[in-house]
Chains A and B, each alone.
Chain A
Amino acid sequence: MDSADALRLFELDNNVVPLSTSDEKVYCYDGRLQRDQLDKRPWRTDPRYYRKVEISSIALVKMVMHARSGGDIEVMGLMLGKVVGQTMVVLDAFALPVEGTETRVNAHHESYEYMVQYLEQCQAAGREEPVIGWYHSHPGYGCWLSGIDVETQMLNQKFQEPFLAVVIDPKRTMSAGKVDLGAFRSFPEGHTAAKSQETDSDGFQSVPLNKIEDFGVHADKYYPLEVGYFKSSLDQRLMERLWRKHWVTTLSQSPLITNGEFTTLKMLELAEKINIFSKDAKRNVSSGQIIRESDAIAEEVSQGYASNMIKRRLFGGT
């Protein structure tokens, strides 16, 4: 076999890699198009310009795993991506060698150096997307921005637009078996919008009571973005194959058993919140929030019950 043939083996046949047209659009970075969009600086006129975040499968898995690896310690990293209209697309993420303490995450100098070097290497390897935001973990206390987070975010939005903040709660992710993730952008300094009802309607976060003050004070300085997740057609096919190995766990585990303790905790927390609400309605607890939380708990329990019933019918043997 001569070398010309050998070479051809690496020229990825586009018929072999199944790409839908949208895959191409999403995964291909067009620097000129990006600059065109960014040159307009739409966030200057509309602080809420970006409404939606789309996170790629690989970025999601990387972020969740990194957040989890930190245990009780906050960890942080950066996200790479681009913007498509009013949507921010996160294509990849990488960890930074920084560990924060509770609600205090800040990138230091050595990590800055790391970041620059990392980006260089990425670009050399064909990943052209720039940094589009940062992520960090809130182990156990929900996805929202603390005062320091808001400051960091404001600073970044001032100098590095478009910039996005993503918060992941690895503990809740694990105990609920669902990814607990929030994406936020801060308002520019001095921005005052009618926001009390905003946080009421889309700020669904059950914040622990000991953090609720911090949450409440800064809640009107940022807004949440709708989060979507996407995967490429290759991912999709891979997932189908992986599913062949994973279905057993889906069937064998029960949310009632895996989340039992957590559900009880959430109920207690909710009861406490109702108490606070009935005493003083203005203390950052709204009735809408209470209802959403109680519905979420009920839904989880009924899911567990449904899976019990399915298994009973399957294996009960009567």
Chain B
Amino acid sequence: MTPRTSGTVVVHPLVLLNISEHTTRTAAQSKAGSLANAPLVCGALLGRQLENQAEVFLSFELKFNARDGAGAAPYELDDRHFLTRTDQMKQIFPEDEFIGWYVVASSTQVTPAIAALHQQIMRALPTALLLVFDTAFETSDGGASLPLAVYDTLPPTRVERAKLQLNFGADCGDSTAAVDYYVESTSDDAIPLEVDTVWASHLVPLRIAIDSGEAERVAIEHVANVARPTTMAIMQGEETAGGAGSSTKVAEGQESGQESGQNAPVELTSRMATFLSSQRNAVDMLHRDITVLKAYVGEVISGAAPFDPQIMQLVHRVLCNRPVVQNDETFDLVMMQEETNFHMTAYLANITTTASVVRNLAQRSNAALSAARNKHQPYVNVNREGGMYDGGGISSMFGGGGGRQGRHRGFGHFR
């Protein structure tokens, strides 16, 4: 990130997912040829703006109409669409204001085309944020940060016209840092200036932070860990569609509900496996970060990397924190308690399962035996306690086995 940042913008994952979905959908539609004109993927950002920090919570799609004739701005914002949707969002999320817009491009640079659109947005909101989402996922730090840049619009100042052109020319190069973007202000009441100067707003990059609400975090984690890529998910749907196309199959499925349960793709990994693998990934991440630190310190020692006291102090602080706990009796005690709790819970769950299995077994053998023997006299007297198939454990587990007896009476009635 460039050092000349003026503030921070907090972006919520929901917004990113929304943009991603919008992009994917538009790309899919344009590939299928169902779109008339070139897709323009942009939308509005909703959130809150505090002094030096903006927080983006939501987004929705914006509609730009293609303008006839290739002028400087080939697209025009559909104002009515924009206003209606802003109003609708306001009804449900009254605290969030329109604070900017996003555009999807193949880099995080501001291009003249984006600037032209930004001009239109500035008419609605002079301080609009501009989020550029890079579908190429190219970031300077080797894929660690998110593929986006957010720019803040400063109040317009006098700028030489030449500067406007120059800086857009510069972004053809790879220098991500320290490029100045200016967008010409289009307000009507601007005081006329000399020929080679214009009123223009400076676009400054903001520091990006990711934050999520608690519900958002759970949902996002679910998406990251549970949701499958479309390849598997929907193809299976198609297979089912093919399989159940004929009416006979439908009828079959209708008869036996259990069958469908077996045919349905069983989750191959248990929840425990999912949990453990996510833990493993986290540890992996920790390991990777430590490796980076280690490599850096090693390079500093060998003189290959410059010595940065700030970084070194951070590294030192991390090291000081380890080991976190050492020979703490209270800690050990609490750990022991938790371990005991875990064993107890597992034990209890096992007993419950066992009790139920035994109960089922008793029921079934009772039924089987009494059916096999002469039908006039049940082999096991259900009313006598402590009978052959009356497990003492079960009755204690389920409070005297009343339910079991109730069922047995049911069987008697059936005969």
Nearest residue, chain A, Cβ from B92 = A95
Q: B118 on the interface (CB 8 Å rule)?
A: no
- Asked if A52 and B237 make an inter-chain contact with CB atoms under 8 angstroms apart, the answer reads yes
Q: A215 on the interface (CB 8 Å rule)?
A: no
Nearest residue, chain B, Cβ from A255 = B275
- Asked if A6 and B224 make an inter-chain contact with CB atoms under 8 angstroms apart, the answer reads no
- Asked if A64 and B218 make an inter-chain contact with CB atoms under 8 angstroms apart, the answer reads yes
How many Å lie between the Cα of A122 and that of B81 in the bound state?
10
Q: Which residues of A contact B245 (CB under 8 A)?
A: 85
Chain B interface size, under 10 / 10 to 19 / 20 to 34 / 35 or more? 35 or more
- Asked if A241 and B146 make an inter-chain contact with CB atoms under 8 angstroms apart, the answer reads yes
Q: A112 on the interface (CB 8 Å rule)?
A: no
- Asked if A61 and B261 make an inter-chain contact with CB atoms under 8 angstroms apart, the answer reads no
Q: Which residues of A contact B216 (CB under 8 A)?
A: 61, 64-65
SS class of chain B's interface: helix, strand, loop or mixed?
Answer: helix
Q: A192 on the interface (CB 8 Å rule)?
A: no
Bitwise, B126-143 to A at CB < 8 A (1) or not (0) is 000000000111000001
Q: Which residues of B contact A16 (CB under 8 A)?
A: 106, 135-136
Residue from the list B116, B136, B230, B335 in contact with A312, Cβ < 8 A = B335
- In the assembled complex, how far is the CB of residue B180 from the closest CB belonging to chain A, in whole angstroms? 17
Q: B295 on the interface (CB 8 Å rule)?
A: no
Interface residues of A in 235-269 (CB under 8 A from B): 235-239, 241-251, 256
Q: Which residues of A contact B214 (CB under 8 A)?
A: 68, 174
- In the assembled complex, how far is the CB of residue B387 from the closest CB belonging to chain A, in whole angstroms? 18
How many Å lie between the Cα of A194 and that of B339 in the bound state?
44
- Asked if A61 and B219 make an inter-chain contact with CB atoms under 8 angstroms apart, the answer reads yes
Q: B315 on the interface (CB 8 Å rule)?
A: no
Q: Which residues of B contact A232 (CB under 8 A)?
A: 20-21, 24, 229-230
How many Å lie between the Cα of A1 and that of B169 in the bound state?
8
How many Å lie between the Cα of A226 and that of B240 in the bound state?
13
Residue of A42, A65, A316 ringed by the most chain B CB atoms within 10 A? A65
- In the assembled complex, how far is the CB of residue A183 from the closest CB belonging to chain B, in whole angstroms? 14
- Asked if A247 and B264 make an inter-chain contact with CB atoms under 8 angstroms apart, the answer reads no
Q: A46 on the interface (CB 8 Å rule)?
A: yes
Q: Which residues of A contact B213 (CB under 8 A)?
A: 65, 68
- In the assembled complex, how far is the CB of residue A81 from the closest CB belonging to chain B, in whole angstroms? 12
- Asked if B85 and A12 make an inter-chain contact with CB atoms under 8 angstroms apart, the answer reads no
SS class of chain A's interface: helix, strand, loop or mixed?
Answer: helix
Using A298-B346, A310-B279, A317-B323 as known contacts, say yes or no to A235 and B20 having CB atoms under 8 A apart: yes
How many Å lie between the Cα of A127 and that of B401 in the bound state?
58
- In the assembled complex, how far is the CB of residue B81 from the closest CB belonging to chain A, in whole angstroms? 6
- In the assembled complex, how far is the CB of residue B354 from the closest CB belonging to chain A, in whole angstroms? 10
Residue from the list B13, B234, B257, B404 in contact with A84, Cβ < 8 A = B234
List 18 A–B pairs whose Cβ atoms lie within 8 Å, in order of A's numbering.
A10-B40, A13-B106, A17-B135, A19-B28, A27-B25, A28-B31, A46-B251, A51-B260, A64-B216, A65-B14, A85-B239, A95-B92, A97-B92, A230-B233, A274-B398, A279-B402, A281-B402, A312-B335
Inter-chain pairs besides A65-B14, A236-B229, 19 sampled, C-beta below 8 Å = A1-B168, A7-B113, A12-B26, A20-B230, A22-B230, A48-B260, A54-B237, A57-B227, A61-B17, A85-B241, A89-B237, A92-B21, A117-B84, A239-B223, A247-B285, A256-B338, A274-B398, A281-B407, A316-B326
On A, residues with C-beta under 8 Å from B are: 1, 3-4, 6-7, 9-14, 16-17, 19-20, 22-30, 42, 45-49, 51-52, 54, 56-58, 60-62, 64-65, 67-69, 84-87, 89, 91-92, 95-97, 114, 117-118, 121-122, 124-127, 170, 173-174, 177-179, 193-194, 197-198, 201-202, 226, 228-239, 241-251, 256, 274-275, 277-282, 287-288, 290-291, 294-295, 297-299, 301-308, 310, 312, 314-318
